[in-house]
Amino acid sequence: MKLRDAMALHQAGRIAEANAAYRKLVARTPADALAQHMLGVTFLQLGDPAAAAASITRALRLKPDDPGAHNNLGLALQGTGELAGALEHYRAAIRIDPGFAFAHCNLGSALRVAGEPAAAVAACQQALALDPDYDDARFHLGNALFALGRFDAAADCFRQVLARQPGRPEVLFNLGNALIAQERPAEAAECYRQALAHAPDDPEILVNLGNALAAQHRHDEAAGRFQAAIAADPGRAEAHQNLGNALAALGRYGEAEAALRRSLELRPDNAEAANSLGTVLLAARRRTEAREWFRRAVALDPNHLHARTQCLHLDRQAAVWRPGEEAALLDLVTRATPGPGTVSAFPFLHFVAGGAAQRAIATLQARGIVPAAVSTPAPQPSPPGTPVRVGYFSGDFGDHPVSFLTAELYELHDRTRCVPVLLSYGPDDGSTLRQRIAAAAPFIDLRGLAAPALRERIGAERLDVLVDLAGYTAGSLTALLSPRLAPVQVIWMGYPGTSGADFMDYIVGDAYVIPTGAEAYYSEKVIRLPEIFQPNDRHRAVAEPLRRESYGLPPTATVLCCFCQTAKLNADLFAAWMHVLGEVPGTVLWLVGGEETTANLRGRAVALGVDPDRLVFAPVLPYPEHLARYRVADLALDTFPFGSGTTASDALWAGCPLVALSGEAYASRMAGALLTAAGLRELIADDLATYTRLVTALAADRARLADLRARLARTHASGPLFDTPRFVRHFETALIAAVDRARAGLPPADITVTP
């Protein structure tokens, strides 16, 4: 066989036969440079770059100035991972033939892989200057621009290639990636779907399509794509991990756990999967196991902000205090890049006191939901003169602190002014309170709806105001409100702080909880109600209290209590409490906490010179029985910097006076606002030393405690704190004022309601 015959086979696409023919030729005439070169090309086409490199190297020894051979040797070396050699030969081809567009293109591709995207852009642009119709050069230019973070320009390159080569799957895939980077997941998903039409079993495309669907909160569809990717490639750890995340978002925690454990079997060093497993176990209330997985994530990636935050928060719940870790976390936050799940702002309320710092952390979480540049036009409000439709959006309609306070609000709305609609996405806990709330107003159960259907269902209500009652608390769906679902969107009650989000218009407060001058701590405009920011349900039942001995309390002791979650405690606050016990004999402290918490707090009491038996721990009880405990306590104690909200309201409703410790931010001013409305401002301290002195003085003065209890009892009959109808009228006035601004085409502005 002659060279022309072998080349004819090659041109006909019969690569294996051509390869065999070239091998026979070079065996007979090893000095034939062209045969050696063509043999190398067929090895490249057959997927054997090492053999290709050997053959083309022999060809170049025979003919060192062949630009095509240098270019193809570059391809072969790039295929074997020898990037430096590949770059050398692409450049040699260009030196020999500066007009060799193919070599410029390949140089650009290799430079991007080598981490030199700017040089890659220049090389690809040179290839296009030589051949403006060179689609591969434009494709590689798009890849280099993507690597530089120039996502718009990259997407334009990919679109230009697709205009000439519709359906090219790798170009569709990369366009999808560019759109994801631009926070345009719906358009990205369409690109991935088109790519799948040409490569239906490609696991990488399936995974990215699942990610694009998950970014739209279409978790059920996303899970199906991840399952398809696993069917195509069972060993793809990423697919198992993302399936676990999607199932967790659907509340299918058992299946999510199994998927994440399989991902970690495949990639034990994956910190993100370990963090996700911790998150799933925490949602399933398996806190001890969750803490271990968060710790494993931190061991794998010490800078994993979410895992470190959760470790710290779970430690705090067990009364394990690590102030050095708090400072380290804050430093990490200042350097964090916004992204989905980068940070959970709620745990930071427990140890970050400053309003500006709290806003910065909330803004970081908000930027993970939607970038600052993205804005969605709000729906049009109802016509002037018509009742305002108010949607209350919550996963906590049931036996939950938010519902303990708001239940009567829904019942008392004046339907000629405000028509309430209850939008529930949480479980039915079967409680009497949930049944009562569901009977108070139209109750829409959103469970099981994917994000698009959920938004559509809420949109069908044609709301004027949407009130998010959860904010950044566990299990909330605040992220679904980023494409605006109502002309006015309000954050209130569940999360005591700013959302940091452009899509929330107002936060509800009063003159104490958000004093004049504090507006800079909030991304929202401030609604100031005239007397109190928080409603109270006057139908909260308080059971008959038991004798003190039945609670494990000494019958004649002065009983100080704090029934806040242990995560709100810290070393300085606990030391102040122990100081009070040391100063006032016969005083005990009544707390809540599990076995680990109890042991840790008693150990700290001993270290501070206090008999651990002076700490009494309360078990979880049904709400009316829990409230009854305040009837046998003498004084309730606030926490700091995350103060007591519903817990303070519980104490005052049950008739127990409270000492508040107020700071700068919303979360530390709630108890002070309640005491102000109760006419008991003398029980508010502005620093820990004053707080400690005040508690000490009260604990030693039974007569004054009795007087405070009598004054508090009178607030039930008069005063604004428990005047729920009065609160509802004020709240309605505020909502109507906010909607009237929207009706007039005006932007949100601070609103102050007069009594």
The stretch 732-750 carries a mean pLDDT of: 97
Please check the confidence at residue 392 and state whether its pLDDT lies above 70. yes
Would you say residue 37 has pLDDT above 50? yes
Q: What is the pLDDT of residue 371?
A: 53
Q: What domains appear along the chain, each with residue ranges and CATH number?
A: 1-78 (1.25.40.10), 277-369 (1.25.40), 388-529 (3.40.50.11380), 548-721 (3.40.50.2000)
> What pLDDT was estimated at residue 277?
97
Highest-confidence segment of 210-224, 521-535, 710-724 = 521-535
pLDDT of 110 strictly over 80: yes
pLDDT given for residue 370 in this prediction: 67
Q: What percent of the chain has pLDDT over 90?
A: 84
Q: Average of pLDDT values for 359-375?
A: 76
Which pLDDT belongs to residue 475? 84
Q: What is the mean pLDDT of residues 554-562?
A: 97
Instruction: Tell me how far apart the alpha carbons of residues 416 and 48 are, in angstroms, rounded to a whole number.
Output: 79
The helix (H) or strand (E) run that includes residue 78 is helix 67-79
Kindly report the average pLDDT of the chain as a whole number. 94
Sequence-ordered list of residues with C-beta below 8 angstroms from that of 372, at least 6 positions apart, any chain = 502
Q: State both tokens at 301.
A: 């990636």
Q: Could you read off the pLDDT of 405-453 as tens digits, one per residue?
A: 999 999 999 999 999 999 999 989 999 999 999 999 999 999 878 778 8
Note the pLDDT of residue 633: 98
State the average pLDDT over residues 226-250. Answer: 96
Please report the pLDDT score of residue 376 as a whole number: 60
Per-residue confidence band for 368, with pLDDT thresholds at 50, 70 and 90: confident
Can you tell me the mean pLDDT for 542-558? Answer: 96
Under the banding of pLDDT at 50, 70 and 90, the label for residue 321 is very high
Tell me the residue ranges of DSSP E strands in 472-613.
Answer: 488-491, 506-510, 525-529, 558-562, 587-592
Residue 528 confidence (pLDDT): 98
- Give me the mean pLDDT over the 110-137 stretch: 95
* pLDDT, tens digit (0-9, with 9 covering 90-100), for 454-477: 889 999 999 999 999 999 998 899
- What is the per-residue pLDDT for 25? 87
In this predicted structure, the answer to whether residue 377 has a pLDDT above a threshold of 80 is no
Phi-psi sector, 642: left (phi>0), alpha (psi -120 to 50), beta: beta
Report d(CA 109, CA 117) in Å as an integer: 9
Asked if 121 and 115 count as a contact pair (C-beta separation under 8 A), the reply is: no
Task: Annotate 527-558 with DSSP letters as a single string.
Answer: EEESS-SS---TT---PPPPPGGGGT--TTSE
- Answer whether residue 375 shows pLDDT above 60: no
Name the residue with higher pLDDT: 375 or 610.
610
Can you tell me whether residue 352 is helix, strand or coil?
A: coil
Cα 360-361-365 angle, rounded to 5 deg: 115
The answer on pLDDT for 251 being more than 80 is yes
Mean pLDDT of 64-74: 93
The predicted model gives 70-99 an average pLDDT of 94
183 confidence band (pLDDT: 50, 70, 90): confident
* pLDDT at 138 (0 to 100): 96
Tell me how far apart the alpha carbons of residues 115 and 453 are, in angstroms, rounded to a whole number: 43
Residue percentage of the chain with pLDDT more than 70:
99
When pLDDT is cut at 50, 70 and 90, the band that residue 373 belongs to is very low
Our CA angle for 467, 468, 472, nearest 5°, is 160
